[in-house]
Structure 1
């Protein structure tokens, strides 16, 4: 009996030792002797990441700077309206007291030049000339001229044994020495026109 117990105890101890051997970790092994490792330098810190440089583009030529514009002059102040000058009165024509006339007989081609004082009737054959005014143009007129206002009456002379025809007026108006045809005498036998005005001294115009 004792021997059996001893065997059982010995077997139990062996089993326990085997279990302990399995559960116990193996002891660390000493490192193998060799050359010590060379220390490596620490890695450099990474630099900033730069974007890729863009492709080179053509640079446009510089635009010329605009020329400085001259400042516009200031508008002048409005001037007060000037009063219009009063027109000068026209100069008066010089009046004379004698008109120089010329008459023509269309039948005989006879011509005669004679003087006719203002207001005094002058007969030439069957015509009677009565000058009412005779003037010369003023210095401010563009064309020098002589003008006369007169009447011409046809008054045939009485012939013995024949009835005298009644008098009639054949002309009344202004005659112009520079333009005789402007207002001519209309008569079948006679014609007349103004030459000029003449006097020793001009008559004061009224």
Structure 2
């Protein structure tokens, strides 16, 4: 009976973690280091967009409640660099966090890209309606 009591005490002592909410749109900001221009843009999940020479494809974008102590917005992102001959090389695959943009950054000489937020909607039409 004591192991059950100990398990109940441990379960009640840890905070309840809210499940992440999947979103269909990721909002990014990108810096062109040559011009100094920052561009903000929305991308649908599984859509590939071109930012400079970078092809970006978000695969998942999750939000957690503001009361959660974990990273609140995160995106799983694939980034390829396009060459002048048309070939592409993968330069980044992984999770990016809006609360800590330098934690998992795209390492590129000309462009910086970071996650701003995950959203449920945008004024950009979906890829199948363009």
User: Normalised by the size of structure 1, how large is the TM-score?
Assistant: 0.50
The CA distance in 2 between the partners of 1:152 and 1:144, in whole Å, is 21
| Aligned alpha-carbon RMSD (Å) | 2.2
Which segments of 5 or more consecutive residues in structure 1 lack a partner in the other structure? 1-79, 159-163, 201-206
**Unaligned regions of 5+ residues in structure 2, if any?**
122-130
Corresponding residue number in structure 1 for 2:59:
132
Which structure carries more relative contact order (alpha carbon 8 Å, separation 6+)? 2
Shift of 1:138: 4.4
Give the ranges of 4+ consecutive aligned residues of structure 1 lying more than 2 Å apart after TM superposition. Answer: 80-84, 86-91, 138-141
Structure with greater proportional strand content: 2
- 1:56 maps to none
User: Which deviations, in whole Å up to 9, do the C-alpha atoms of 1:185-204 show, x marking residues without a partner?
Assistant: 1101111000000014xxxx
Number of aligned pairs?
Answer: 115
Quote the residue 2:95 is aligned against: 174
Q: Which residue of the partner structure matches residue 87 of structure 1?
A: 11
Q: Which residue of 2 aligns with 1:155?
A: 82
Structure 2 matches for 1:22-171, cutoff 5 A? 81=2, 83=5, 84-85=7-8, 87=11, 90-138=17-65, 141-143=68-70, 145-156=72-83, 164=85, 166-171=87-92
Q: Distance in 2 between matches of 1:173 and 1:142?
A: 21
